[in-house]
Amino acid sequence: MTRKIGIIGDGHVGSTVAHYIVTNGFADDLVLIDKNEAKVNADAIDFREAMPNLPFHTNITVNDYAALKDADVIISALGNIRLNDGAKEDRFSELAYNSEQVKSVAAKIRDSGFNGIIIAITNPVDVIASLYQQITGLPKKHVIGTGTLLDSARMKRAVAEKLNLDSRSVIGYNLGEHGNSQFTAWSTVRALDKPLTELAKERHLDLDALDNEARHGGYTIFKGKGYTSYGVATAAVRLAKVVLSDAHTVLPVSNYREDYDSYLSYPVVVGRDGVLDDVSLNLTDEEKEKLQNSADFIKTNFKKYSEK
């Protein structure tokens, strides 16, 4: 079966996503779309010139929305990073510009006849995922955001460094908004076959500091190089691979939560048909309150924007 992926937005993140896919042979056909025609055509040629030295071949199409009709997955990496506006670290500062771009792109995706899975990276990702779903008319389970799949990875990196472990040996989730109201659900985190809350007492770990590191890790990277790319691109490609292979993998991604009437990150089972099943976490009362606060934050801020 031919595997086809579309990437909309060929900036730092989109081109990193494309490079990861091409160099690993994750797709047979790749559609690259960007308003900057010179840049996207240059990348397409660059990828084609990489192929003689790769063990894989990828067919590349540029700026053709009609080619998305039979795509399995579309990854939305478009956007204008505005995390440096003043002193405020807030992904909602990107909403005004990004939502206008998404409205236009989503309509073109809808008109192409696309009926696959949309993976949103574009910030603020929980709201952007909702916009894509509303405009394309795709089932809610077919529109997913990378959400706290990235923030959970940041938490694992921070915890693993404190414990001198491979970050893949840490399990657990960050939940809620991919933004300031997210939080590490420490009741879900384990390492060395122990709950991290127990290890924290034994190893004198500061859980608040680790939670803060996960929440603000993206801004640290942004301040260093002006953008983030590798972490989120890898999260998006992993999610796309889970869909393509119908892997039925539990991932903390942004998905529509009927109980909160909002997109936010909470672990679900993901496969070829998008969100396949829910996962029931035994959260503490404090974590449940934080999750509700995060949902309220997303809805309140989106309402403020929509009323402008």
Containing H/E element for 257? strand 249-257
Q: Are residues 141 and 152 in the same domain?
A: no
Of 111, 145, 179, the domain-final residue: 145
For residue 176, the 8-state DSSP code is B
Residue at a domain's end among 123, 145, 167: 145
Q: Can you give the pLDDT at residue 85?
A: 45
Does residue 155 share a domain with residue 140?
A: no
The encoded tokens of residue 159 equal: 């915890």
Listed as own residue / partner, the contacts of 99-108 with beta carbons closer than 8 Å and 24 or more positions apart are 99/127, 99/128, 99/131, 99/305, 102/76, 102/78, 102/128, 102/131, 102/132, 102/135, 103/131, 103/135, 105/8, 105/33, 105/76, 105/78, 106/131, 106/132, 106/135, 106/136, 107/135, 108/65
Collapsed DSSP state (helix, strand, coil) of residue 128: helix
Write the pLDDT tens digit of every residue in 21-51: 999 999 999 999 999 999 999 999 999 999 9
Quote the tokens at residue 134. Answer: 């509303």
Task: Report yes or no: 123 and 71 within 8 Å, Cβ to Cβ.
Answer: no
pLDDT at position 87 is 38
**Which domain, by its residues, includes 132?**
4-145
Looking at the structure of the chain, the number of domains it has is 2
Predicted pLDDT of residue 65: 98
Domain boundary among 95, 125, 145: 145
Per-residue confidence (pLDDT) for residue 303, from 0 to 100: 77
Verify that 189 and 238 share a domain, yes or no: yes
What is the structure's pLDDT at 222?
84
**What does the DSSP 8-state code read for residue 7?**
E
Same domain? For 11 and 82 the reply is: yes
Same-domain check for residues 41 and 116: yes
- 166 and 138 within one domain: no
Indicate which CATH number applies to the domain containing 276. 3.90.110.10
Looking at the domain assignment, is residue 172 inside a domain? yes
The amino acid occupying position 32 is: L
pTM: 0.95
Catalytic residues, which ones?
178
Residues 196, 73 share a domain: no
Residues 48-66 have pLDDT tens digits of 999 999 999 999 999 999 9
Q: Is residue 308 part of a domain?
A: no
- In degrees and rounded to multiples of 5, residue 303 shows phi and psi of -65, -45
Q: Give pLDDT, residue 82.
A: 55
Amino acid (one-letter) located at 270 = V
Annotated binding-site members for NAD(+): 9-14, 34, 98, 121-123
Q: Which helix (H) or strand (E) holds 256?
A: strand 249-257
Task: Kindly give the parts of the chain with pLDDT less than 70.
Answer: 81-91, 305-308
Return the structure tokens found at 175: 């939940």
